[in-house]
Amino acid sequence: MGKYNALINGVKKGSQAAIAQSISIIEKNDDDRLELIKALYSEESCNTPLIGLTGFGGAGKSSLVGALAEVLLKQDKKVGIMAVDPTSPKSGGSLLGDRIRLQYLFPNNKLFFRSFANKGALGGLSPILMESVKVLEVAGFNYIFLETVGIGQSEVDITHFADVVVLVMSPGLGDEIQFLKGGIMEIADVLVMNKMDMPNANISLAALEAYSRLLDQPPTVVPVSVIARQNIDLLLKTIDEVYENKRSTGYVEKLRMERSNALYQAWVMQMLRPIVDQRYTSEEIPYVAAKSIADRMRRCIDDR
C-alpha cells in the first residue's frame, strides 16, 4: 500500500479531514492523484445509492437536498452531498452558492458537503466529481447526492449516470417542460414539482403530470414544498423504491459499468487535450490536422 495508508484509513473511519484531503488530491493534477486513486480502488466499497438532482436554476435543488438530508440525518444515516456550479468564462472564478441553503444543518459529523466549480469539463462528466463519489463510497456513506448545473448546459451531464435521477421543477415553468434539452425528461426517474406552497402551483403540477403521462416510461411525479416541509418523506420513499427496483433487476450494476466506461472516456479526453492542443497551428485545416494526429496515435498504440 504505502504512501496513502493513513489517509485511506482515515477515510474508511469517516474522518472528514481525510475525506476533504483526498478530494483535494484528486482535484490537483499531479502524480499523487494516481497513487491515491489506485489506493481507493483497491478498497472494498459498498454500493451507495447515488442520487442526481438537476433542474432549472432556482427550482430549489439545494434547499430540497437539505430537507432530504435533514430527514436522513435524523435516521442516523451518513449523507454526502456534492454540488456543482458553473465557472465564469470571463474570470475563471465561480460563486458556489448551493451550500448556503444547507448551512443550518452544521455542525454535523454525519454530513459531508463539498462545492465544485464546473471548469467546463469535456463531455460534461467531470472525472473529478466521479472520483470524489468514490471517496465517499469508501468512507461508507449511506446516501450520496449530486446537484448539478441546470439543464441544457451540457448534453451528457453527470446526473445521467446517477442511480436515481431527480428532476426538480417549480411552478410557472409548465410550458417550458417540453423544450428541455438532452433528453433529461426521458431519463428522469422522479419529477419533483417544488414550491407547492405557491399560488397556482396546482396548475403547473397538472401540466407536469399530463406531460409525464406522454412518456414511454412515465416517471413518478411528486409535488413537494421544501419551505412547508411537505412530502419530503414521500419523495425519499419514492427515491428508495426506484433505487431498490433498479438494484433488484440488476440495473444498478449495469449503470455502474456505464459509469466506469464514461469515466474512462472523460479521463482520456482530459489527458489528451493538452497534448493535442500543443500540436495545432492555425495554418492547418482543423479536420485534416485532427485526423492526422488521431491516425498517428492509433498507429503508435497498435504497433505495441
Ligand X SMILES: Nc1nc2c(ncn2[C@@H]2O[C@H](COP(=O)(O)OP(=O)(O)OP(=O)(O)O)[C@@H](O)[C@H]2O)c(=O)[nH]1
Nine cell digits for residue 178? 417540453
**Longest CA–CA separation in the chain, Å:** 67
Cα separations in angstroms, 220 against 66, 206, 273? 21, 13, 40
Using CB under 6 A as the binding rule, whether residue 194 contacts ligand X is answered as: yes
Cα separations in angstroms, 104 against 52, 61, 63, 87, 224? 22, 16, 11, 25, 20
Using CB under 8 A as the binding rule, whether residue 107 contacts another protein is answered as: yes
Whole-number CA gyration radius for the chain = 21
Q: Which does 99 bind (CB under 5 to 8 A by kind): another protein, ligand X, Mg ion, none?
A: another protein
What separation, in Å, do the N-terminal and C-terminal C-alpha atoms of the chain show? 30
Supply the minimum distance, in Å, between the C-beta of residue 64 and ligand X.
7
Using CB under 5 A as the binding rule, whether residue 98 contacts Mg ion is answered as: yes
Residues 6+ apart with CB under 8 A from 253: none
Which one of 225, 231, 242, 255 is in contact with ligand X (CB under 6 A)? 225
Q: Which does 63 bind (CB under 5 to 8 A by kind): ligand X, Mg ion, another protein, none?
A: ligand X
Using CB under 8 A as the binding rule, whether residue 57 contacts another protein is answered as: no
Size of the site for another protein (CB under 8 A): 32
User: For the window 25-44, what string marks contact with another protein as x by the rule CB under 8 A?
Assistant: --xxx---------------
CB burial class (10 A; 0-12, 13-18, 19+) of residue 288? Answer: exposed
User: For the window 87-106, what string marks contact with ligand X as x by the rule CB under 6 A?
Assistant: ----------xx--x-----
Q: 116-135: which residues touch another protein (CB under 8 A)?
A: 117, 119
Length of the chain: 304
Given the rule CB under 5 A, which residues bind Mg ion?
Answer: 61-62, 98
Given the rule CB under 6 A, which residues bind ligand X?
Answer: 57-63, 97-98, 101, 150, 194-195, 197-198, 225-227
